Chains A and B, each alone.
Chain A
Amino acid sequence: MAQTSAHEMVGATEAPVTLARDRHKTQIAISDPTGPVARALTAAAAPHRVFLNLENITSRGVPSTYGVYINLPDDGKPEDHRHLYAGLLPSFGVAEASRRDEHSPGSGLNHALDITEIVEWLKAHNQWDPKRLSVTFVPRGKNPGEVPVQVGRASLHYKVGHRPPA
């Protein structure tokens, strides 16, 4: 039976990030895929998707909302770069998932953002660095950063296979 989809982790942050009042930028060093994803990518017109996984998101309370941007310039205003917006860092349920009790081990939440279109846009505009990706967390709302939130790891995954229907 032929494999219809394959996925591979190609890079991740080296340290957890703590988000507070200011926006925070972190880097992911990207390795070339070496497993079946590499072979599938070389095949003609293999559809592939790129995911940013945000892992072990923890907080002691209900954190502020943060927008997640890919390769946002250091001096760039987020509202001027909506095409680089990947999605929101989840805040709902983070406090509960961070608490150790009889229902939860306290490891926090994991969340995946599909950044395929952003990566395609960056490639189309010659702004894609195959060795490095930056992830910027931009606080939103009235009182950002009152309750800090930690992201244990951000990792980049390639998935080769069929796109789900829109």
Chain B
Amino acid sequence: MGQLKAQLTERQARVHAEQYPPLRLKDADPVKWEVFYTKLQGLVTNARETAVHISSSPVVREMGECVMALFTPEGESVCFSRGIVLHVASMGGAVRFMLENDYEEDVGIRHGDLFFNNDPYVGGAHSQDQTLLAPIIVDGELIGWAGGLTHVPETGAKEAGGTAVTGVSRFEEGIFWPCLKVGENDQLKRDVEMIVERGTRTPIWWLMDTRAKAAAILQIRDGIVKLIREYGVEFYREAIYEYIEDTRQACFRKIQRVFYPGTYRMSVFFGVPNARRPVLYPRDYLVRVTAEMTVTPDGYVSLDFDGTSPAGLHTYNSTTSATLGNLLLAVIQYVLYDVKYNEGLFQAVFHPTRMHLPPSVLNPPDHTYGSGLWGPGAGGTCWGAMMDCIARAYYARGIREEVTGHRNSGAGGLRWAGTDQYGRPSAGQNFEMGCAGMPASAVLDGLDTSYAAFNPEGDMSDAEVWERVFPFVWVGRRIQRDGGGFGRYRGGAAIQSTYLVEHVDSIQISTSGVGRFGSRSPGLMGAYPVGASTMYTYGLPNFEEAVGQEAPLPNMGVPAWREESPGSLLQVVPKMLAGDRPVQQVRRHDLIVMEEGGAGGFGDPLDREPRLVAQDVGYGLTSRPVAANVYGVVLDASTGQADAMATATRRAELRRARLARGRPAGEYVAAQRRRLLAGDVPEPARTSLNECMATSEKFRRELVECWGLPEDFRVIPGSAAEGVA
């Protein structure tokens, strides 16, 4: 066994046994200790800026999907740059993979080597997440790793944009290299690059991103060597583990103070409507992602995902690396945002002895399952389930200002493939989801069109920038009316973008298309979830004539546009719903309307301040029917303000209507029991519940106990619908 592999085994055993180092250096000289950390942090932060300025990809330059980090010799993260911090979890996995697979002896790890990984079962979340790692070797001893990751928007997958929406296994998701040595002596190998040139549609982004990361991580490596000259290698060796331990301790202190101890549970669902898609195994998947979080009074957190749907033959699975990254994002953005980001977070919150992640869509049993769309799929959904648990633990403790609902839902960007306006082969994905809405909190509405939860640094970017690389023009970008979940506090509204295909005769587009098959952003404590977000395409058969006569184009959802532009000369003919057909060929002057992710609300909508409802109607954020029927607010026809008396009457009427239509739970349970015994459950719900029962005794017991079913109930009877396995 190589020395590094032995070190890894020993370190993992210590963490498992919860044997952590003392903070000796910190106690001895806290100022020196913090200054040194700031220098490490400065190195990775500067390196990230280097990478962003070298990359040619709008995903890095405009969206900021880029992160740089320093690791211990065993692959534990020490510090991270800003950027897509999801990968605090994932890059270190590549280091561990190399050590566990004897790279030290069989491949060789030398000064000047560059190792590339985009195998999501090793690190990263899907094949677009591409890591480059450089060993840091001082006086012949490996003392750490510099790492960088960018999201590369084209990997040679079955469909363009790095993600095969219709893929059923990972082997349709493009080129993947598990820790391949792509460079030696600080130089990238030309023969390796040939694979990219011949194997992807737009190789420039992959190739330039690799150069960008190489420049950045070599900058980190050389910077560390200089720092060691100043501080000494002994100080460095000890300090890097202390930073991790300091974070671990800080996490415990914070959790003790802000969470009410207890057990919190949530299940969130998303749909993969593959029975109606051109895929190899056409069956629907209705995926259940469930989380149970237990917090002890002394700040220990246990997580259990037992009862989550099994992995499926689709691209919405989440590798373990993606799952951990998503859970971490929930934690570092909403709870532990004030600690040093590093491996200590995992030791505190996701410790192996307190984490139960059985084989499932969150932890596929082997490496063949596709994970290209983990974000709109299982990975992003497990985050939402955990956020619900976090929100309730905060609420009970009185930390109301931190209560936040589920992450935003969304369509997952617009992807394209074909020949671009310059006559070149082109493929990619835009980032309108960079302005998705934020969930409501217990004290505040969610921000409208705010950010992409998985990439807080990312931004949607200017339309004019995208129009240079993308054969579409933006006809409109606007905040979607009724685009956030209705509640006492309203969920942040989605962005609605309208595109016109221009400059090319025809091009292929795709999106993740999970919109109307499940809301991944439920409401909290009485609020509604966000409505379905999806993509529609339309033909404009008389475009030239209508534009010649200056007829306005739809710059919003077509139903709303028809209301605002009655009698328009322009003919708008529906072509396709994205959920039904996520990959489509569109033609010049076709119109695409896409909604990117609003989020759920908080609290009973009838508790919302009437003044705020009137204000939202005035701003065009809430429609009049929703104001009247969901919020129970009556607006004065002349002033547009809420009529206090009429509103009170309307709300009393709506509460009475609830009391009239609501059935006592006992009756409801009895009716559900009868329908389950009779097999009166529609597909794909029946198959989904049956699969969860078959793979999780915990879930089976939950179902049996909830509905009062016979103890031996194991299958909801009835034959599967056609096209559903």
Mutual binders A and B: no
A-binding residues in B (CB < 8 A): none
Give A contacts to B, CB under 8 Å: none
